[in-house]
Amino acid sequence: MGGYLPPSTPEEKLFCRRVADAAGRCESSGRLQFTGFLDERQQALALAQLARLSWQGHLFFGGYSDAERTVLALYEGEEPSFEQFPVVGLRISCRHADHLTHRDYLGALMGLGFKRECGGDILPDEEGAIVFALPATAKLICSQLSEVGRESVSAAITQLSQSICAASGEPVKISVASLRLDAVLAALLHLSREQTAALIRTEKVLVNHIVRSAPSTMLEEGDLLTVRGTGRFRLQSLCGQSKKGRSFVICIKY
């Protein structure tokens, strides 16, 4: 996976200041401090900020093991239990859930005024989906969510369980001339290099939650690619080369 990049936008710099402020409040009050849900980029920024402060007491939790989006707890002394985190699990139930996707659920929640920092992972399954959210947002979803992708749904708070796990995604094997961003996306999306370059230059592609506008950006194992309006892919592993020198790559499509 690509190395850490320091904060480069006003929003990222403000986020780092907020993490530092939360650590200061924890130190002065002795009370636990929690953030909203953070994506992987924000988690990396938070860890770097805490390292600069030499702050040891921190823990991430998103409602289940290996959650992608997590809440950060800052503490002094004893490590908090997961039950202390402001994380609520919701079961969204639907009679015809087989064709609904992560995008459908997220779109329906955004239609309620759902802010991304108030919600965690969305895990579609055969019954509907499991959604993680902050308590106030969970109550809003339960009271107002009635439809996803034109399908009637209901939402109710469910008990958090260690047995909950994210869908593993679909493995896809591709062959590329190089690990340039445009080459990998062209193979994954079945587009020409020119078409993928246009997507990248219009800032519709993120690598590890950071917008990349250069088609020549080089990728590494473990990188997460997000194409706005299309989906997400993770470069899982390299698996050799062809006789013509092309690289075989296993990706996971979510």
Which tens digit of pLDDT belongs to each residue from 127-138?
999 999 999 999
On whether both 96 and 140 belong to a single domain, the answer is: yes
- Greater confidence (151 vs 68) lies with 151
| CATH number of domain containing 150 | 3.30.70.330
Question: Is the pLDDT score of 2 beyond 60?
Answer: no
Percentage of the chain with pLDDT > 90?
A: 76
Distance CA 215, CA 197 (A): 5
pLDDT for residue 254 is more than 90: no
Examine the domain organization and report whether 248 and 182 are in the same domain.
yes
Does 175 share its domain with 247? yes
Q: Is 4 inside a domain boundary?
A: no
Express each pLDDT in 206-242 by its tens digit: 998 888 999 999 999 999 999 987 888 999 999 988 8
Do 174 and 251 contact (CB within 8 A), yes or no? Answer: yes
Percent of the chain predicted with pLDDT > 70: 95
78 and 104 in a single domain? The answer is no
| Residue where one domain finishes, among candidates 56, 84, 112 | 84
Confidence of residue 159 (pLDDT cuts 50, 70, 90): confident
Render the chain in DSSP notation, one character per residue.
-PPP----SHHHHHHHHHHHHHHHHHHHH---EEEEEE-HHHHHHHHHHHHHTT---EEEE-SSTT-SSEEEEE-SSSPPPGGGSS-EEEEEEETT-TT--HHHHHHHHHTTT--GGGEEEEEEETTEEEEEE-HHHHHHHHHH--EETTEEEEEEEE---TT------EEEEEEESS-BHHHHHHHHHT--HHHHHHHHHTT-EEETTEE---TT-B--TT-EEEETTTEEEEEEEEEEE-TTSPEEEEEEE-
Is there a domain that residue 1 lies in? no
CATH number at residue 248: 3.10.290.10
For the segment 99-125, what is each residue's pLDDT rounded down to a tens digit? Answer: 998 889 999 999 999 899 999 999 999
17 within some domain: yes
Q: What is the CATH number of the domain that holds 53?
A: 3.30.1370.160
Total domains, the chain: 3
| Position 228 in a domain | yes
Among 65, 84, 103, identify where a domain stops.
84
Domain co-membership, 94 together with 154: yes
Identity of the residue numbered 68: E
Question: Which residues is 243 bridged to in the sheet?
Answer: none
* Domain stop point among 57, 84, 111: 84
C-alpha dihedral sign at 112, 115, 117, 118? negative
Domain presence at residue 102: yes
pTM of the complete model beyond 0.85:
no
Query: Does residue 2 belong to any structural domain of this protein?
Result: no
pLDDT at 1 over 60: no
DSSP β-bridge partners for residue 233: 225, 253
Q: What is the pLDDT of residue 168?
A: 60
What is the span of the domain harbouring residue 143? 88-158
Residue 130 belongs to a domain:
yes
Tens digit of each residue's pLDDT (9 = 90 or more) over 46-84: 999 999 999 999 999 999 987 889 999 999 999 999 999
d(CA 181, CA 85): 37
Q: Are residues 145 and 79 both part of a single domain? A: no
pLDDT band at 166 (very low <50, low <70, confident <90, very high): low
pLDDT average, residue stretch 5-10? 87
